[in-house]
Amino acid sequence: MISPVDQRTWLVSESPFNPFKLHHTETIFTVGNGFMGVRGTFEEGYSGDLATTLVHGIFNHAEGDLVPDIVNLPNPLPVQVTVDGELFHMTAGRVLGFRRTLDLKRALLTREVLWRTSQGAIVKLTFERFASLTEEHLLVQRVRVRALLGSPQIEMRSSVDAKVTNLGVQHLTDLHTSIHDSEILVTARTNQSNYGIAVCAAHDLSIASPVQSDAERVFYTFTLPQENEVSLTKISAIYTTRQGDQPSHMAQETARAALKKGYETLFAAHCAAWEQYWHTSDVLIEGDELAQRAIRFTTYHVLIAAPRHDERVSIGAKTLSGLGYKGHVFWDTELFMLPMLTVTQPKLARNLLMYRYHNLQGARNKARANGYEGAMFPWESTDTGEETTPQWSHPQPDGTRIRIWTGDNEQHISTDIAYAVLQYWRWTGDDEFFVRYGAEIVLDTAVFWGSRAEYNAEQDRYELRMQIGPDEYHENVNNSAFTNSMVRWHLQQALVVRNWLLTHHREAGEALLTRLGITEARCAKWSEIAQKMYVPRDPETGVLEQFDGFFNLERLDLTHWQPRVANMDWILGHERTQRTMVIKQADIVMLMALLGDQFGSTEEQQANWDFYYPLVDHGSSLSPSIHAWVAARLGLLEDAYKLFMYAANIDLEDLKGNVRDGIHAAACGGVWQAVAFGFVGLGLDERGELQVKPNLPPHWRSVTLRAYHRGQIRTIRLTAEN
């Protein structure tokens, strides 16, 4: 039997209705299934709402826009209910009660409203929706109306809104709506990328009532006796030409077949599928209800965004829950979201890595365009694999534009991707993937770094100039300690991979090495670069210098700059921030997290933490979870727990004030890492065997999680006594 506490920790609820938090709740109440994401906007629609339906891989570069944008598809949600001629709306009539709940365990969004018309009739309206996990093209809705006082005349109207845009930017053309009986079909095409899109909505009313229609909607009109209930099931199927050349036919066939199955059958299958995912991805925390709910919420949002059947798409920084960052894919996927999937859902992790493999040509194109060899992955990526970072910002209020350098010089992403590939391989033992795909990513990005590293003959060392590390407050720096250290590690690993291939898969290995031009001379160069890579460090304290000259910057005491919501770069301005010792996010601390014991002794790690932690602004949502992970490993449990809870509640409490743009996906993945790699101390030893080095918060009675290790699922349970 499920305890009341456990039941509560599966639910995220809103009560009463707060119109001023409309955009925040739209994001956190997103439903999805790895193919689509549908924001939690209301069926009846509200002025200023951000109704958004997104599917992976549909991008378009509209005329006048700087870069491609993920496309907002026709909205399948609209259902309007009229009671005795009055249109139901939570700002009209009188709301006697309101509760909206996202059931994380079943991925079901439910809204219940007690509503009284101006004429005195009282009805209870229940709205339910889920994005089917078993039939990923389906969004399933049910709207129930119960007459509590009076026997009102009810009208239920349903439509598919084809007039959507991306915040005013039009990406769709050739829009057409057709209605046949109780079925609505909307077709469209993106105006530059030429993707075809179809949304088909099929309906079933629980009572006998003739269906009527006009040019855009279907509707039912009937009298509802007191204490009776009626339900309208609406099943929408979404297809694009990424799935086939006849999306309208596929959408119609799928919607009709699903309608025959009915709501309950579809929902039962959906719940059974979710039960399997939660079996391995759930983290059970005893003794902390807030932490338990928060980690289930963050895990849910990674799981609903992870593509299941398409290895040519990936998860954007805002998932499919909003239009922030235009749906682009960053390092957030490989270093923040992917580790949780590697350990708990390796099939999903493999899909995401295959996206990078399929887009190697784009990475090679970027390397060539910049005068380098190998594969240089783009900082921002979409469906093509080409670099999609804008070079300039939109005009500022004074008309000036800011140069955006991340696409040019935030090059550590090539090693971040290689890191994720190697992490996946070592956890899963998936040699087939690695030999056919993963090794090529690791090796060709190493080819890039071999051509990118610069030899300083005077100092007899290799350097990397004009870089942007994780701390994006400081641009175009020389010898980023993070980047240089990760590149050194990358080249060392590439040599290990090369030798492993020749030992265990010689024929395939030789073919790959020949194709990539990896000769003995190139390997000797990699070895030399790794040995002589310069990483700035204070020899007395062992503290790394974040980049050349960082120790000479102006230092601010950030404790004096509280309370504040704005990031320090916004307060100080772009130019002043460059001259100031204020850090956007985990940089040296990120290096400590990724390379762990290879970083240095515990004393050196503590010295680096003591120096850099007071300087970090946490201007990025990526930062708190990584700091929590490292703090837990260092035994700094008070700091670790505070940072963990901050990361866990960034979206739930809108701590950054920008959740309207979409979920902070990297923070969601980072929360799992803070628990698994930080508090639990889960990892692999030098032989690749599981190890656990726990540092639990003192009030946690136990933590239980599951991990796939070389094809076998393991259960790790730690109690306070451990």
Contact present, 453 and 373 (Cβ < 8 Å): no
Q: Tell me, what DSSP letter sits at residue 197?
A: E
Q: What is the mean pLDDT of residues 483-490?
A: 98
* Tokens, residue 122: 């009282």
Contact present, 285 and 700 (Cβ < 8 Å): yes
* Tokens, residue 549: 């000259």
- Confidence band, pLDDT 50/70/90 cuts, at residue 598: confident
* Tokens, residue 283: 């983290």
Secondary-structure breakdown of the chain: helix, strand, coil percentages, each rounded to the nearest 5: 40, 25, 40
The dihedral formed by the CA atoms of 625, 628, 632 and 634, expressed in degrees to the nearest 10: 120
Q: Is the pLDDT of residue 2 over 60?
A: no
CA–CA separation, 513 vs 498, rounded Å? 8
CA–CA separation, 114 vs 651, rounded Å? 28
Residue 207 domain-assigned? yes
Contact present, 440 and 361 (Cβ < 8 Å): no
Q: What are the phi and psi torsion angles at 712 (to 5°)?
A: -110, 135
pLDDT of residue 601: 87
Q: Tell which residue, 75, 64, 72, 149, has the closest CA to residue 115.
A: 149
Residue 403 domain-assigned? no
- Confidence band, pLDDT 50/70/90 cuts, at residue 650: very high
Contact present, 84 and 76 (Cβ < 8 Å): no
Total number of domains constituting the chain: 1
Q: Report helix, strand or coil for 328.
A: coil
pLDDT (tens digit, 9 = 90+) per residue, 195-221?
999 999 999 999 999 999 999 999 999
pLDDT of residue 680: 98
pLDDT of residue 301: 98
Q: What is the mean pLDDT of residues 36-46?
A: 97
Contacts of 510 (CB under 8 A, 6+ apart): 502
pLDDT of residue 1: 40
Sign of CA dihedral 215, 218, 221, 226: negative
Q: Report helix, strand or coil for 1.
A: coil
* Tokens, residue 75: 């909205």
For the chain, give the number of residues.
722
Q: What is the CATH number of the domain that holds 216?
A: 2.70.98.40
Where b means 16+ CB within 10 Å and e means fewer, 594-623 reads bbeeebbeeebbebbbebbbebbbbbbbbb
Residue 475 domain-assigned? no
Q: What are the phi and psi torsion angles at 521 (to 5°)?
A: -65, -40
Residue 697 domain-assigned? no
Domain enclosing residue 9, as ranges: 4-279
Q: Is the pLDDT of residue 420 over 90?
A: yes
pLDDT (tens digit, 9 = 90+) per residue, 692-707?
999 999 999 999 999 9
pLDDT of residue 129: 98
Residue 142 domain-assigned? yes
Q: What is the mean pLDDT of residues 380-404?
A: 89
* Tokens, residue 555: 């230092």
Q: Is the pLDDT of residue 4 over 70?
A: no
Q: Is the pLDDT of residue 501 over 90?
A: yes
229: part of which helix (H) or strand (E)?
Answer: strand 229-240
Instruction: Provide the residue type at 108 as one letter.
Output: L
pLDDT (tens digit, 9 = 90+) per residue, 569-588?
989 988 899 999 999 999 99
* Tokens, residue 196: 């075809």
Beta strand 153-159 with 454-456 is: unpaired
Q: Is the pLDDT of residue 479 over 60?
A: yes
Instruction: Provide the residue type at 632 as one letter.
Output: A
Q: What is the mean pLDDT of residues 435-440?
A: 98
Q: What is the mean pLDDT of residues 379-392?
A: 95
Contacts of 507 (CB under 8 A, 6+ apart): none
Report the catalytic residues: 472
Q: What is the mean pLDDT of residues 277-288?
A: 98
- Confidence band, pLDDT 50/70/90 cuts, at residue 80: very high
CA–CA separation, 190 vs 73, rounded Å? 10
- Confidence band, pLDDT 50/70/90 cuts, at residue 3: low
Contact present, 66 and 103 (Cβ < 8 Å): no
pLDDT (tens digit, 9 = 90+) per residue, 137-183?
999 999 999 999 999 999 999 999 999 999 999 999 999 999 999 99
CA–CA separation, 321 vs 305, rounded Å? 9
- Confidence band, pLDDT 50/70/90 cuts, at residue 396: confident
CA–CA separation, 289 vs 648, rounded Å? 12
Contact present, 480 and 469 (Cβ < 8 Å): yes
Q: Is the pLDDT of residue 84 over 60?
A: yes
The dihedral formed by the CA atoms of 609, 613, 619 and 623, expressed in degrees to the nearest 10: 40
Contacts of 388 (CB under 8 A, 6+ apart): 67, 68, 326, 328, 378, 380, 381, 382, 407
pLDDT of residue 722: 56
- Confidence band, pLDDT 50/70/90 cuts, at residue 68: very high
Q: Tell which residue, 190, 180, 186, 115, has the closest CA to residue 145.
A: 115
CA–CA separation, 524 vs 506, rounded Å? 20
**In 10 A of CB 547, how many CB atoms?**
25
Residue 266 domain-assigned? yes
Round the average pLDDT of the chain to a whole number and report it.
96
Q: Is the pLDDT of residue 720 over 90?
A: no
Contact present, 299 and 648 (Cβ < 8 Å): no
